[in-house]
Structure 1
Amino acid sequence: MARIGGYPRGVNVEVTPLPGIGTRQDFMTRSGRRVGVVTYRDGRFDLIISQRDDPDACSASIPLTPEESATLANLLGAPQLVAQLRDEQRDVVGIATKQLPIVHGSPFDGRTLGDTALRSRTGASVVAVVRAGDVHPSPRPDFVFTGGDLLVVVGTSDGLKAAADLLAHG
């Protein structure tokens, strides 16, 4: 078992190799439950939750496809990124941050950031893209969007509304 960094202060993620299976990564919650993920060698994932009285015994194991695990990662990761950006911009009057999705089959699914002409058309800027739990900061104009991406966009209130409309309708 090893501890890995890159997580918020006070949260120790433990990584346990599971020979022939994959790895288990988990952490202890404030309430005393272990929550984690088993990553199988074949690419499958299980979300796991320990029993209250025995942190080594599993009370729930939820199998997730790669797509489902990516969706869960986006749901959990994007709000933290947006909250951090909001904290950093708190004193900048008139600027806001918003998460905007690229929906499967939407006009920009499979197209580049440059194709949107978002900044010139709305005045808002994409500062990051969250995909499958990975944050892609400062995407370049040739960054290709994929359905399920969450864009972190910064701009004025009007610019963010225009950006949401543009991304949804083209």
Structure 2
Amino acid sequence: MEVEQTALPGIGLRHEFTTRSGRRIGIVSHRTGRRDLVLYDPDDPDRACETIKLNDEEADALAELLGAPRIVQRLNALHSEVEGLVSLQFPITPGSPYAGRPMGDARVRTRTGASIVAVVREGQVFASPAPDFGLLGNDVVVVVGSPESTSAVSDILSGG
């Protein structure tokens, strides 16, 4: 799929693509941080028939809803391409020694060689969380690594 990127001087950046059914969709990312979802007229791809202004929270929610299934699909495809690589999901129980602490405190990658590639919280996916990302009880971490390293992550997250 081809995504066109256009600089909008003084405004920000516009990304547009055409769906398989022929609908043109765009996202305008303003310098202020606001994003607009733009649906173009099917008969005139230069005319916007609908513009939906999204605040940060709404843009994040939309990205998570659209991105979560794609992350899982990509990880599943990666499994078939790389022998010995697995991705597993582990819950952070409320009693975990890392509930309420930054993810980096667990030093998962350093201790096991596996990587936490996402955290799922109440249906929202946080992809590539930074070490200062705070883990909460009932979060689910998505871990990628070898079977041995991901098993070690489970032990760390449950027992320290």
Q: Per the shorter chain, which TM-score range?
A: 0.5 to 0.7
Equivalent residue for 2:6? Answer: 16
Aligned-partner residue type, residue 128 of structure 2: H
Distance in 2 between residues matched to 1:100 and 1:59, nearest whole Å:
43
Equivalent residue for 2:63? Answer: 73
Distance in 2 between residues matched to 1:79 and 1:99, nearest whole Å:
17
Distance in 2 between residues matched to 1:51 and 1:100, nearest whole Å:
45
Is 1:36 matched with 2:26?
Answer: yes
Equivalent residue for 1:128? Answer: 117
Does the 8 Å CA contact 1:43/1:66 hold for their aligned counterparts? yes
Distance in 1 between residues matched to 2:134 and 2:50, nearest whole Å:
31
| 1:1-170 map, 5 Å | 11-90=1-80, 97-98=88-89, 107-108=99-100, 111-115=101-105, 126-129=115-118, 135-136=127-128, 143-145=131-133, 151-154=141-144
Does the 8 Å CA contact 2:89/2:140 hold for their aligned counterparts? no
Once superposed, what is the RMSD of the aligned Cα atoms?
4.2
Distance in 2 between residues matched to 1:73 and 1:99, nearest whole Å:
23
Does the 8 Å CA contact 1:82/1:98 hold for their aligned counterparts? no
Task: Map Cα deviations across residues 37-68 of structure 1 (whole Å, 9 max, x no partner).
Answer: 11112111111111111111112211111222
State TM-score, norm by structure 2: 0.61
- Report the secondary structure of 1:55's partner residue: strand
Equivalent residue for 1:8? Answer: none
Does the 8 Å CA contact 1:35/1:50 hold for their aligned counterparts? yes
Residues 57 and 134 from structure 1, CA distance in 2 versus in 1: closer, same or farther, beyond 3 angstroms?
farther
Percent of aligned pairs with the same amino acid: 40
Aligned-partner residue type, residue 133 of structure 2: F
Does the 8 Å CA contact 2:118/2:141 hold for their aligned counterparts? yes
State TM-score, norm by structure 1: 0.58
Residues 117 and 20 from structure 1, CA distance in 2 versus in 1: closer, same or farther, beyond 3 angstroms?
closer
Structure with the greater alpha carbon radius of gyration: 2
Q: Note the C-alpha offset of 1:83.
A: 1.1
Distance in 2 between residues matched to 1:99 and 1:26, nearest whole Å:
36
Does the 8 Å CA contact 2:34/2:55 hold for their aligned counterparts? yes
Q: Note the C-alpha offset of 1:89.
A: 2.4
Where structure 2 has 5 or more consecutive residues not aligned to the other structure, the ranges are: 93-98
Does the 8 Å CA contact 2:17/2:26 hold for their aligned counterparts? yes
Distance in 2 between residues matched to 1:32 and 1:99, nearest whole Å:
40
Equivalent residue for 1:3? Answer: none
Shift >3 Å, 4+ stretches: 90-93, 95-101, 114-119, 130-135, 153-156
